[in-house]
Structure 1
Amino acid sequence: MEIKLQLPDEFAGMIAKCLADQLDQQNPRPQMEADAWLNKGEASKYLKVSRVFLDELIKSQSLPCKRIGTRSYRFKKADLDNWLRSQQ
């Protein structure tokens, strides 16, 4: 049996936000100092995104980061927190 509902966009957005809030409460982000610097692996875990998506954000320059050498990047936790808030 399949049930299909059509909801106005504002309801779908509200439901998505409620689900995201519930997931955040179940899996809180690790606590660390605001001035901590993270490498790409740590940043992708902290943001709960894939490394591929993180690379896309770096390439598009939409995520604040500091380039170290030719291939390494570092991310300030406070900058990631600010970026997350701007995405809501």
Structure 2
Amino acid sequence: MKNISLPQLVFTGIVASMATLPYLWFVLPNYIDQRIWYVIIGESFAVLMETFIIGAMLRVNLPKSFLSSLACNMVSFLTALLMNLP
């Protein structure tokens, strides 16, 4: 098992988010009007792109980087949902 330091993990998370958020917030809304498709396409895009970023930066295999990306995006998505409850 490979040891990954906390600073390396945090830096990778920041890079992955900075690489995908501008597309999700500023580009994708110009092309997709329906919220459900925006969520499906946007989250899928984020998970896939961040999978490759995490894999490359942390030098872990694709299944591990995919699960990491999926978990992080699920937490982020669910947190946003909870924050927007009435």
Q: Same fold (TM over 0.5)?
A: no
Of Structure 1 and Structure 2, which has the larger fraction of its residues in helix?
A: 2
Of Structure 1 and Structure 2, which has the larger fraction of its residues in strand?
A: 1
**Alignment TM-score, normalising by the size of structure 2:** 0.31
Q: Which structure has the bigger radius of gyration?
A: 1
